[in-house]
Amino acid sequence: MLVELRIRNVAVIDSVTLPLATGLNVLTGETGAGKSLIIGALGMLLGERAAADRVRSGSEKATVEGVFDIRARPALRASLDERGLDVDEELVVLKREVGTNGRSRAWINGSAVTAAVLAEIGSSLVSVHGQHDSRQLVDTDHQRDVLDAYVRAGEARQRVAEAHAKVMALRVRERELEMRRVDAAKRADYLRFVVREIEEGNPVVGEDEALDADIRRLSHAEELQGLAAQASAAIAGDERAALSRLAVVRRALGSLTRIDPTMARVQTGFDAAVYALDELATELEQYAEGVEADPQRLRLLERRRELLLGLMRKYGPSLSEVIAEGDRARAELALVDGGSLDVAAIAEARAAAEGTLVEAAAELTRLRLSGARQFAQAVSALLPELGMLDGRVDVVLQPLEHISAAGGESVQFVAALNAGADLRPLSRIASGGELSRVMLALSTVLAQLQAVPTLVFDEVDAGVGGAVAWQVGALMRRVASHHQVLAISHLAQIAARAHHHIVVHKSAVGTVTTADTAVVTDDTRVVEIARMLGGDADREVSRAHARELLVRGAEEVEASTAAESAAGTTTTRRANQRRGKPV
């Protein structure tokens, strides 16, 4: 259970420590005193979105801590231990902070965790029921979720959702493949033409560049031959050529080297240059001899280039694109020829998945049918205690034409809350106060199944008053016999039933407004109850009324406890008689 809630620098709250007890804890205070801020801070601790605007003005960060007694929760201790978190035998501390920059951090027993882990652990410790739950109650999807929670259909519903997702994915794949196959069949003649034309052209990547070079040489064959011959003659032609005229230089260098051996290096360089010129002249002569005009080959190459250019104009800016287009066309043709086999295989897988979905949905339907009547009876049994003496609730399961991710039927709660009324959907028959009471009855029934030790009721008594409010308080008190309950209320009839009463109030410190809390007992509790009753809390008549309410609450609690004890004793006696034991 929640032992203590510590809140610092949240909105107008400077620093508040909220001590809680077993049984029914009630949080009261004037409108705007800060009750909703405390519930908001608790929500932040349980993993809800933590926004920077929650930080108190002038502070750097807002912090919320919750201390929980987990002595009766061995499974939770094991879960924390599996996550590598330090575990105390008795207590676990959850902590969340958010800075003015919006950055949020979380810890469990001092070890940093993600907000998701904090939310997961928090949801196993506290369950919050608020006014918005009453509004959600008219939504059939929410009603389905409530029924599924009651019949513990979480795993069955997950199997349906997974099977449905698989079926939908296979159906999409099947449609896509069939559409592609049909489209390819329509284009088959064109695709065959593309494949044939590209295969006949047989292009090779880079072939167009090589063709351009060959065509350029053949187109200028005579010019190239003349230029090469001219250059060769200039180097090694007659006596006027370069090599002949360099003979003078060779003789001079020979003489220099004989006189000054250091000139041998120059002689070597000159010889290398002459050799290079001689090689160049030879290459030019051979090139000139190798270049010859070939009009027939030129025409063949030009026709080949024109064919490749035609393919590139049709199928891509480059030969690599042309080749890729041919590959794509062949793949599409393969889809025409063998696509029906692929479609059939996917259709077979889809049919199998649909069978699995039908089986999973049938199991979910069985769970819902088996628990719907029991659930309706349990909720209906509580309505008289909430001032609806002739009220009854039923659950209608309507089969769907197609199985959805949530199952094979819709779920709708119908009710008749007054004598002689027909069963109708909640959205059509319930006022705000009636919805609040129906929601409280639902929450009470679910609480009996939940392993969550702490239940929070955030002003679920909206629209309720008078004798009905007294009955609502009695029901909360009963729930508090097997759960810790924290109720935020504006009704004195509920506050008078509390085991532990906390008051929220605002005060001003200088020019700064802050919210604070105080546990009230004895006379201070009488004053608060008197205020809630709408009278002047300083007048004795108001206080006498408050005392009377508190005494009545205590007397009814004692009577209820005695009745429960007597019922338990009678049950034990009957059980012993059935076993043949002496009474």
Do 510 and 479 form a contact (C-beta atoms < 8 A)? no
In whole angstroms, what is the distance from residue 373 CA to residue 360 CA? 21
Phi and psi at 405, nearest 5°, equal -65, -15
At a CB cut-off of 8 Å and minimum separation 6, what does 246 contact?
274, 277
In whole angstroms, what is the distance from residue 441 CA to residue 230 CA? 112
Residue spans of beta strands (DSSP E) within 73-228: 91-99, 104-108, 111-113, 126-130
- The amino acid occupying position 174 is E
Cα dihedral 142, 144, 148, 150 sign: positive
In whole angstroms, what is the distance from residue 125 CA to residue 416 CA? 35
Phi and psi at 14, nearest 5°, equal -80, -65
Helix/strand/coil for 109: coil
Do 497 and 474 form a contact (C-beta atoms < 8 A)? yes
Q: Which residues of the chain have pLDDT under 70?
A: 131-135, 239-240, 335-342, 430-431, 509-512, 535, 557-583
Do 268 and 261 form a contact (C-beta atoms < 8 A)? no
Do 228 and 236 form a contact (C-beta atoms < 8 A)? no
pLDDT at 542: 86
Distances 454 to 2, 278, 442, 480 between C-alpha atoms, Å: 7, 104, 16, 9
Secondary structure of 463-483 in the HEC alphabet?
A: CCCHHHHHHHHHHHHHHCCCC
pLDDT at 560: 59
Residue with tokens 């009855």: 441
pLDDT at 81: 86
Closest CA to 253 of 243, 268, 240: 268
pLDDT at 578: 37
In whole angstroms, what is the distance from residue 42 CA to residue 40 CA? 5
Q: Where are the alpha helices (DSSP H) in 202-294?
A: 207-219, 221-236, 242-245, 247-259, 264-290
Q: Would you mind telling me the total number of residues written for the chain in this entry?
A: 583
pLDDT in tens, 261-319: 888 888 889 889 888 888 888 888 888 777 777 888 889 988 999 999 999 999 989 99
Its pTM stands at: 0.64
Q: Can you list the pairs that 196-201 forms with residues at least 24 positions away whose Cβ atoms lie under 8 Å?
A: 197/311, 197/314, 198/311, 198/315, 198/322, 198/323, 198/325, 198/326, 198/329, 199/326, 201/307, 201/308, 201/311, 201/322
pLDDT in tens, 420-461: 888 998 878 756 777 878 888 888 888 777 778 999 988 877
Q: What is the DSSP letter of 55?
A: B
Residue with tokens 């480059």: 318
Cβ count within 10 A of residue 5: 21
Do 359 and 408 form a contact (C-beta atoms < 8 A)? no
In whole angstroms, what is the distance from residue 135 CA to residue 464 CA? 15
In whole angstroms, what is the distance from residue 158 CA to residue 360 CA? 9
In whole angstroms, what is the distance from residue 151 CA to residue 375 CA? 8
pLDDT at 340: 56
